[in-house]
Structure 1
Amino acid sequence: MVCAPVGWGDVLILRASGKDGYNEYLYKTLGESVNSVETILLDKRELANNTDILRKIRQAEAIFLAGGDQGNYVNFWQGTPVADALNERIREGAVMGGTSAGCGILGQTYFSALEGSVTSEEALANPYNKRVAMRRNDFLKQPLLVNTITDMHYSTRNRQGRHLAFMARAATDWAIQPRGIGVDEKTAVCVTPDGNVSVFGQGNAYFLQATKKKPELCKQNQPLTWHRKGKAVHVTIIAGSVEGITGFNLTSFQSITQAKSEYWSVDSGVLARVDLR
């Protein structure tokens, strides 16, 4: 997921593991539209106080958060000057995006992965499983992603069920009406400052909106039930393309063109989907 286009600036890739494989690819792909591309490995919490790194973050026009283990991002960056600098760039309108784990921490309500990953089966069987580690409003603060939980590798890893469990926890623990954005592999969700969304690539993007009613049963060691007559969560599905399909707006959280839509619900830990088109 990325927000807004980039032009004539410095691109900074931040990661908590891995190497600098994006540098050459992005520089060749973006060509003359950028001045530089650099990767910084922030794999220790003490590096989050480094003045040179903070300066580069504050000077970057575009910042991309790489994949890996999002628990590392939380452990190494949350509550540090790096997080402060990233939020400064968000407020100032810099482009920011991420892939996989880097996308997973973009929402203001998020799955931290501090206890490791979790499958849909595990999360639906017990939404308070210790692996369903949820946090809110303590890391990145992108206004377009208030109360929004992102999830990635969506269809390939069958993550629809755990996404509903994350949203059920948010609705139960914080009394909010949560939203979700799910992204298939080889797919990009690109957002302009006014909230308009274009979906690029080979898969789909899924925009989830919970109803105003909380789950009927969301408790420790009990299977999740969030049924609401089969209409617990409304889902808009936008297919990607090479040119990009503009079909949704995050500000209104509604489709702006004809799009496939479904209702998703959970009954005793079992996910159900009803196609509306």
Structure 2
Amino acid sequence: MQHRSRSIEQGSAWRPWRRLAEAFAVIVGLAVLSPAHADKPYQYYVVGNPADASSSQPPREPSALLMGGGPDVDAAFQWMIARAGGGDFVVIRATGTDAYNPYIYAMGGVDSVETLIIPSRGAANDPFVIDRISKAEALFIAGGDQADYINFWKGTGVEQAINGLIARRVPIGGTSAGLAVLGQFDFAALNGTVYSDDALSNPYNKRMTIDRGFITAPGLDFVITDAHLDTRDRMGRLVGFLARIVQDGWSGMTRGIGVDVETALAVAGTSATRLGTGSVYFLQTNGLPQVCQPGTPLTYRNVGVQRLSGSGRFDLLNWRGYGGATTNYNLSAEGGLLYSTQPGGAIY
């Protein structure tokens, strides 16, 4: 009895410490900022299995996810997870936290979720950072400031690693600033944001910084993207971006995709579907602008718009919706003012 009593007392004495150790092990398993990385130019967090995993299925057609900012769309992440084949889901950003890790991991279907905070060109050329991105089965670029992404990541190992993922058909996604860098052309925001009125009144104002030559996600050739389209009234500046691209001779024809908040566009091959609560707008240029000069209000007539608001499909290759999926109208900038052919003149 004495022996048993001592055993019980010893177990009681050690139980709080054992529970503390078990809790600590769970925490470490859920989110790790490795001490080995503490003095590195990046930050790294992982939830789930930190070992490298492989997809359980070969990549299907090239795929991309464009999220318009605001509250995240659960169905959009679930769509990406389904294409990751149970592998490692990697989130990259220049600032912020690992808040996506528990959110995505709780959805299930992935081996791990990793966040890399990459705030400099040195970090973007670090072998560990490049390795973790290169081994992803899904990659998501978080919101923030797209100027950081272009300044810190363009022309670095990070860009090469992302292009490697695109080449092997790993799903690529982004929201807000992350969406802004997915097209062939990007609003770089190198001098801060630009508002629609400013873009239309002077398409060459100092905040109209447009970039090219960074990554191009599948289906987004000749495309410039914009997020928060409805809540921040960005249709006018998207028309301004299109005008600048063709006026400057970057492309004889260009296209724009604007995504509302709480909305995502899921691209599989050349077929795109809408997820979430808002609309997605597909714009296409119609020749050169009538007037697009520094210090002069923009005149650019008959930019075609197709609004996808329901569950239909949009073909990015032929740039058209099928089966009545879209509402079609034209926008025209006249002397810096935006007009629509929709009933009542609505531009959205």
SS in structure 1 at match of 2:106: helix
Equivalence for 2:65: 2
Tell me if 1:68 matches 2:144. yes
Partner of 1:148: 223
Tell me, in whole angstroms, the C-alpha distance in 2 between the residues paired with 1:77 and 1:60. 17
Residue 255 of structure 1 aligns to which amino acid in structure 2? G
User: Aligned pair in 2 of structure 1 residues 170, 37: CA closer, same or farther (>3 Å)?
Assistant: same
Q: Aligned with 1:144: secondary structure? A: coil
Q: Choose from 19, 24, 27 the match for 2:97.
A: 19
Instruction: Map 1:158-197 onto structure 2 (within 5 A).
Output: 158-173=233-248, 174-193=250-269, 195-197=270-272
Match of 1:52 in 2: 128
1:214 aligns with 2:288: yes
- Structure 1: any 5+ residue segments left out of the alignment? none
Distance 2:91 2:218 in 1: 22
Stretches (4+) displaced over 2 A: 3-7
User: Is contact 1:128-1:219 (8 Å) kept?
Assistant: yes
- Quote the Cα distance in structure 2 between the aligned partners of 1:54 and 1:46: 11
User: Alignment partner of 1:191: what SS?
Assistant: strand
Q: Is the 8 A contact 1:196 1:246 kept in 2?
A: no
Scaled by the length of structure 1, the TM-score of the pair is 0.92
**Separation of aligned partners in 1, 2:152 and 2:261:** 26
Contact 1:71 1:113 in 2 (8 A): yes
- What is the TM-score normalised by the length of structure 2? 0.74
Shift of 1:275: 2.1
Q: 1:254 aligns with which of 297, 320, 326?
A: 320
Where in structure 2 are the equivalents of 1:13-162 lying within 5 Å?
Answer: 13-29=91-107, 31=108, 33-136=109-212, 138-162=213-237
CA distance in structure 1 between the aligned counterparts of 2:314 and 2:322, rounded to whole angstroms: 5
Larger Rg: 2
C-alpha RMSD of the superposition: 1.3
Aligned amino acid, residue 171 of structure 1 = V
SS at match of 1:75: helix
Equivalents in 1 of 2:323, 2:299: separation in Å? 32
**Secondary structure of residue in 2 paired with 1:165:** helix
Q: Distance in 1 between matches of 2:257 and 2:265?
A: 9
Post-superposition Cα deviations, 1:199-227, rounded to whole Å, max 9, x if no partner, equal: 0111000011112x210000000000002
SS in 2 for 1:121: helix
Q: Retained in 2: the 8 A contact 1:123–1:132?
A: yes
What residue in structure 1 maps to residue 339 of structure 2?
272
| 1:67–1:100 CA contact under 8 A, matched in 2 | yes
More helix by share: 2
Distance of 1:262 and 1:219 partners within structure 2: 26
**Structure 2 residue ranges without an equivalent (≥5):** 1-63, 67-79, 344-348
